[in-house]
Amino acid sequence: MIYDFLENSAIRYPDKIAVVCNSERATYRQINSHADNLACRLQEIGIRKSDRVALLMENSIDYVVAYYGILKAGCVVAPLNPGLKPEGLQNLLEDLEPAAIIAGFKSERLLNAVSLDPKYLKLLIIKTPKKRWHTAPVRFFTFEDCISEQETPIGNPNPKPNPNDPAGIIYTSGSSGKPKGVVLSHGNIVSNTLSICRYLSLTQDDIQMVVLPFFYVMGKSLLNTHFAVGGTVVINNTFSYPATVIKQMVEEKVTGFSGVPSTYAHLLHRSPLARHRDELQSLRYCSQAGGHMAAQLKKDLRHCLPDHTRIVIMYGATEASARLSYLEPEQFERKMGSIGKAIPGVELKIVNEAGSTVENGLSGELLARGPNIMQGYWNDIESTRKAIDTDGYYHTGDIAYEDADGYLYITGRKDNVLKISGHKVNPQEIEECLMQTQQLVETAVIGVADQLKGYRLVALCVPKNDIREAELQSHCHKFLSNHQIPGEFLFLKTLPRGSSGKVDNQECVRVYHAGIRAKDSAPVAEN
């Protein structure tokens, strides 16, 4: 089971520092004890095996305790983004119907803005609350009370789930625009975790710097892999000030750093990475996933990192419990555009539209099969059927080809989903939000190359009347997460269309780069 990672390390290294966060440090013994206390409290209150528990916390020692405590109680963890807008959180809660919500103090205001339905919700737990929640329609406890020592010895609740039992539901935006809950079992996550530990050669001596959120599947894999080997996780929530990250990496003798393309772009262009290159003597490797990283960014990274630091390019999906392939560091320069080969235990193949495997050099959809592939999408049988075929292959939606040496290359996607700073972004969802203003005739949201984010969002808009860009930005901020908000708006008289009458996205990109604003743009008010 997933919680075995924590329990085994608590037995082998009880007094070793497991997590560092700001000025706090917690040992494996402490985290395991607090997780046990939380699990027993959940069970005492009536939260049952396989009940869903929403976890709404930023990265912290408390998050780690809550994550493993929920699993120890035999429940299913549903990590949610604490940066959600109230409407987005409400929709997810209605879909998930959690029996309990565990939230950090920063999420208290967000929770106060949504409706808590006692038809399914039994329990609310909040860290250091300021509001009086005892009048809420459900039972309420503070997080501090739930993890504190009980009057009688507790020990491990040990609900003994089955490896095929669901362990987590991670929401990710699908091609339909509606977030999909990816259901991952204990077996899915354990198999992927052990495979990652193997190809990264992780040991108890590894110290991982975590700047990615734990609600993101890649962030969660960093936690599980290092707890599996008895390593140390250093949490840094100040990546907007990347100089502090570099400083802490030096001070904590960090051996591993992981990020998405925009993470490395910020390190290269907005931090003193190059100046501190010689101080990063402990940095054994850096790994990257979460979308395509430009070749120039990879070259710059290689130049700024110490010579001994290995760079591992990885590829995966939430539906795969995190990881599907990796490129060996030895092949970094020779196969720079490649996502490498399948990780241990995973099968990858490329098929044409008829479902037949294609020859080397020919493009097709990349399919994956292995013990790490999800059980399906929560409450969405049809999407599950489309994603996983009868042979157990997951259809990634990515277009790829394989070279003569067996290395894989991603060339695009079957759908129009974009990756912005490691987040899957569906343009249709943003277009729907913009059209809600009733100020536009139509709109198309596209992704254009960006050195920092990999891609940035641009909204091409056909306005009914004069409208200010600031008005659209303000509307988006009310209903969308930050990574979904277009950074630029281009006003046109009409959108480029193909012969079928559908909007031509490739032509939209061309129009944007050509900078056609005079002849073909609609009147726009001065800002």
Please tell me the predicted confidence (pLDDT) of residue 516.
45
Residue 285 tokens, joined: 């490797």
Residue 71: which CATH number?
Answer: 3.40.50.980
* Claim to verify: residue 444 and residue 480 sit in the same structural domain: yes
Residue 527 tokens, joined: 């800002």
Residue 504: which CATH number?
Answer: 3.30.300.30
Per DSSP, the residues of 347-376 read EEEEE-TTSPBPPTT--EEEEEESTTS-SE
- Domain presence at residue 185: no
* Claim to verify: residue 151 and residue 261 sit in the same structural domain: no
Please tell me the predicted confidence (pLDDT) of residue 419.
77
C-alpha 375/C-alpha 184 separation (Å) is: 6
Strand partners, 401: 409
Residue pair 461/511 in contact by the 8 Å Cβ criterion: no
* Claim to verify: residue 260 and residue 337 sit in the same structural domain: yes
Write out the residue range of the structural domain in which residue 442 sits: 423-514
C-alpha 454/C-alpha 262 separation (Å) is: 6
Cβ within 8 Å of residue 209, ≥6 positions away: 234, 236, 245, 248, 249, 252, 254, 256, 257, 258
* Claim to verify: residue 226 and residue 156 sit in the same structural domain: no
Q: Tell me: the pLDDT tens digits for 27-62?
A: 999 999 999 999 999 999 899 999 999 999 999 999
- Domain presence at residue 59: yes
Please tell me the predicted confidence (pLDDT) of residue 190.
98
- Domain presence at residue 11: yes
**Residue 206 belongs to what H/E stretch?**
none
* Claim to verify: residue 373 and residue 433 sit in the same structural domain: no
- Domain presence at residue 72: yes
Please tell me the predicted confidence (pLDDT) of residue 281.
96
* Claim to verify: residue 335 and residue 429 sit in the same structural domain: no
* Claim to verify: residue 315 and residue 408 sit in the same structural domain: yes
- Domain presence at residue 180: no
C-alpha 187/C-alpha 64 separation (Å) is: 20
* Claim to verify: residue 471 and residue 445 sit in the same structural domain: yes
Average pLDDT per consecutive 10 residues, the chain (527 residues; last block may be shorter): 97 98 96 96 92 97 98 96 93 96 95 94 95 89 89 56 93 68 98 97 98 94 98 94 93 96 83 92 96 83 96 96 97 95 97 93 95 97 96 94 95 75 80 86 84 82 87 92 90 72 75 63 41
Residue 476 tokens, joined: 């988006």
* Claim to verify: residue 194 and residue 302 sit in the same structural domain: yes
Is 305 in a helix, a strand, or coil? Answer: coil
- Domain presence at residue 407: yes
Per DSSP, the residues of 417-461 read -EEETTEEE-HHHHHHHHHTTS-EEEEEEEEEEETTTEEEEEEEE
- Domain presence at residue 132: yes
Nearest to 35 by CA among 62, 60, 15, 16: 62
* Claim to verify: residue 307 and residue 404 sit in the same structural domain: yes
- Domain presence at residue 275: yes
Phi, psi of 322 (to 5 degrees): 130, -65
The structural domain count of the chain equals 3
Please tell me the predicted confidence (pLDDT) of residue 65.
98
